[in-house]
């Protein structure tokens, strides 16, 4: 049991570091995002038109006839940016999220034998997750594929990496 807990904990820490390297250090994912021509004016307009933290759909579902004008957007607004970047509470929640992910991957692998089987399972579950989640975001929620492809790569690699690490901590099967 201690070996399993250690494996889940180590996997969570490695995933946390991987996430920091991928999203925090690497500029690559952010090359897919556009910038407003006037950042200060855009922020002022966000505060004026989207007064509350949350998700907005423009046009709203009640005004879909406005689609004939040719534009639509889903806007995610956060007016409660923490004073410190990165926010310690967000970092702690990110680590808890990675612990939960490692636990789920462990539960998927626990009745299987060997690294190759674990990697296959990690890859298949990762593939299923990105097809459903990232595909839905692209098809239904207006996320551009150029942005979501970075999430696809990251999330798929998280599952494979978790499976590879956890494979080393799987308890020996009792016959």
Q: At what angle do helices 88-109 and 115-129 cross, to 10 degrees?
A: 120
Tell me the mean pLDDT in the region 18-26: 95
Cα dihedral 127→131→137→143 (10° resolution): 80
CA 108 and chain centroid, separation: 20
Mean pLDDT of all residues belonging to the chain: 91
> pLDDT by residue (tens digit) across 56-99?
988 888 888 888 888 888 889 998 877 777 788 889 999 999 99
pTM: 0.85
Cβ distance 29 to 23 under 8 Å?
Answer: yes
Q: Which helix H or strand E contains 35, and what residues bound it? A: none
Q: Report percent pLDDT > 90 for the chain.
A: 73
C-alpha count within 13 angstroms, C-beta hemisphere, residue 49:
14
> pLDDT by residue (tens digit) across 119-144?
999 999 999 999 999 999 999 888 99
Provide the pLDDT confidence category of residue 175 given band limits of 50, 70 and 90.
very low
């Amino acid at each position: 049991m201690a070996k399993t807990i250690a494996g889940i904990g180590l996997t969570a820490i490695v995933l946390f570091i991987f996430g920091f390297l991928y999203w925090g250090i690497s500029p690559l994912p952010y090359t897919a995002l556009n910038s407003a021509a006037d950042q200060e004016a855009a922020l002022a307009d966000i505060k004026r038109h989207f007064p509350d933290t949350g998700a907005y759909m423009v046009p709203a579902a009640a005004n879909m006839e406005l689609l004939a004008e040719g534009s639509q957007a889903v806007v995610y607004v956060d007016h409660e940016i923490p004073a410190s970047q990165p926010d310690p509470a967000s970092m702690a929640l990110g680590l808890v999220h990675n612990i939960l992910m490692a636990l789920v991957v462990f539960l998927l692998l626990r009745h299987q034998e060997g690294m190759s089987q674990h990697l296959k399972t990690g890859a298949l579950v990762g593939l299923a997750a990105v097809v459903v989640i990232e595909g839905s975001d692209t098809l239904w929620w207006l996320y551009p594929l150029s942005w979501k492809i970075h999430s696809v790569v990251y999330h798929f690699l998280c599952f494979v990496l978790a499976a590879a690490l956890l494979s080393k901590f799987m308890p020996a099967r009792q016959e």
